[in-house]
């Protein structure tokens, strides 16, 4: 069914061998006129493959973002059109009584590229970049979200049906999508104003002396460099720890709301207080952490607890993350406060060079952490505090140390008394 004619304010441009039009289009018109990129795949199975990728939870997440964020913003959708009779209407010469000298300096080429794009309504338009945003828009309008007064920037290119035209448009589709670089985690931490973990992590390192650089290393890496003898951990690891405790706080399995929906200032304050409570109880339970928090000379403390000798479990990002996971699981299972759950872990082994960590997450020969041992170390810690684990844990532990799984001369350490 044809749509009504539509005229869009536009700029015309040329890049490579593409002619494109950068336009403003009302959001409801985008939802009604623009389809998904199934048109560039005449093969039904490939078209359905594209459709299936757009029917997952991401469309709902984007619709929720549109509904709950007044500061919402999208970058331009790239659309392809064929059929119908799109017409370019250049603005031509224009005058300005207020700025006659400025108008005089506008060259003819610039004037020729400012105008309107007229759509007859019979065109077929589909998205080649921004399909998930399009799906979110459609989903939001289906749920009666009012976006009637809003406009989005679109970039329109021409598509020609046929083998060569489809190949050309498919190449543009994959180029735009596979070369897009996701926002890096360190950029989220530094800049994101919706992500709760990022907001709280920034506040901690900016306002609380216990977390200010260099005690928390504000670097792009998630790992503490071998030459760093000041930090407890990195800001990236702090972000990960906050994610674990905020999921526990909210009782949710997924972090989408925490990452994309900025809560009220009161709620943010409660998140911040919850984070401080965790670290307050952590330092009260483990003297090494308290020593670092309290000192004005962090290097004097950290050198005692991290180095080629292994050191303290909590002075390694993986160790801090693992302990946080075990604490929150214990607290959730037994309905404990952080103080109670951490108090139950006060006798947990913390020396990486000793059992049960040596040979699991710490290589005493190479003096390095063992990344592949993370899951096993977590399960051992859970076993030590009485949380349920798999029946094969002892065998896995023996094999990680280089023994046969049924070698009963090698035993897990006894559980700690809670």
Q: How far apart are CA 101 and CA 410, in angstroms?
A: 88
The two structure tokens encoding residue 316: 């390694």
Q: Look up the pTM and report it.
A: 0.75
Q: How many CB atoms lie within 10 A of CB 200?
A: 23
Dist CA 165 CA 14 (whole Å): 18
DSSP letter for 351, please: B
Look-up: residue for tokens 């997450």? 361
Q: How far is CA 333 from CA 243, 276, 336, 341, in A?
A: 18, 22, 8, 10
Beta bridge partners, 216, equal 233
- Evaluate whether 138 touches 97 at the Cβ level (below 8 Å): no
Q: Which residue has the tokens 């009584």?
A: 97
Q: What is the pLDDT along the chain (418 residues), one digit of tens a residue?
A: 678 999 999 999 998 888 899 999 999 999 999 988 765 555 555 555 555 556 567 788 888 889 888 888 898 999 988 887 788 888 766 665 666 666 666 777 777 788 899 998 988 888 888 888 998 999 999 999 999 999 999 999 887 777 777 777 777 777 776 666 677 888 889 888 889 999 999 999 999 999 998 999 998 888 999 999 999 999 999 999 999 999 999 999 899 899 988 899 999 999 999 999 999 999 999 999 999 999 999 999 999 999 999 999 999 999 999 999 999 999 999 999 999 999 999 999 999 999 999 999 999 999 999 999 999 999 999 999 999 999 999 999 999 999 998 998 889 999 986 5
Q: Are 347 and 341 in contact (CB under 8 A)?
A: no
3 state SS of 59:
helix
Cβ-in-10-Å burial (0-12, 13-18, 19+) of 416 comes to middle
């Amino acid at each position: 069914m044809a749509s009504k004619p539509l005229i869009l304010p536009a700029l015309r441009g040329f890049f490579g061998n593409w002619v494109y039009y950068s336009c403003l289009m009302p959001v409801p018109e985008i939802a009604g006129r623009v389809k998904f990129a199934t048109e560039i795949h005449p093969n039904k199975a490939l078209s359905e493959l594209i459709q299936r990728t757009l029917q997952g939870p991401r469309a709902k997440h984007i619709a929720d973002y549109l509904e709950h964020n007044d500061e919402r913003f999208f970058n331009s959708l790239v659309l392809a059109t064929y059929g119908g009779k799109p017409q370019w209407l250049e603005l031509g010469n224009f005058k300005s009584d207020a700025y006659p000298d400025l108008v005089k300096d506008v060259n003819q080429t610039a004037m020729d590229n400012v105008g309107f794009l007229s759509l007859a309504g019979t065109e077929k338009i589909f998205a080649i970049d921004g399909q998930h945003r399009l799906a979110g828009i459609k989903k939001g309008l289906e749920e009666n979200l009012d976006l009637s007064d809003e406009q989005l920037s679109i970039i329109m290119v021409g598509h020609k049906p046929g083998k060569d035209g489809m190949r050309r448009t498919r190449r543009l589709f994959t180029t735009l999508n596979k070369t897009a670089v996701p926002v890096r985690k360190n950029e989220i931490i530094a800049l994101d104003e919706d992500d709760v973990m990022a907001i709280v992590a920034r506040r901690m390192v900016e306002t609380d002396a216990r977390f200010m650089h260099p005690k928390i290393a504000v670097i792009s890496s998630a790992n503490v460099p071998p030459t760093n003898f000041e930090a407890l951990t990195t800001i990236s690891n702090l972000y990960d720890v906050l994610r674990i405790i905020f999921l526990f706080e909210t009782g949710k399995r997924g972090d989408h709301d925490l990452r994309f929906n900025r809560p009220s200032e009161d709620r943010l304050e409660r998140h911040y207080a919850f984070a401080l409570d965790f670290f307050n109880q952590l330092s009260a339970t483990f003297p090494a952490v308290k020593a670092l928090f309290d000192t004005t000379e962090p290097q004097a403390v950290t050198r005692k607890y991290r180095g080629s000798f292994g050191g303290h479990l909590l002075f390694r990002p993986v160790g801090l993350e693992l302990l946080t996971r075990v604490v929150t699981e214990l607290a959730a299972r037994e309905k404990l406060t952080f103080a109670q759950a951490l108090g139950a872990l006060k006798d947990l082994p913390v020396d990486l060079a000793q059992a049960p960590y040596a040979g699991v997450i710490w290589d005493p020969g190479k003096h390095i952490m063992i990344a592949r041992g993370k899951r096993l170390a977590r399960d051992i810690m859970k076993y030590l505090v009485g949380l349920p684990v798999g029946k094969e844990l002892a065998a896995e532990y023996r094999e990680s140390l280089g023994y046969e799984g049924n070698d009963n001369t090698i035993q897990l350490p006894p559980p700690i008394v809670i």
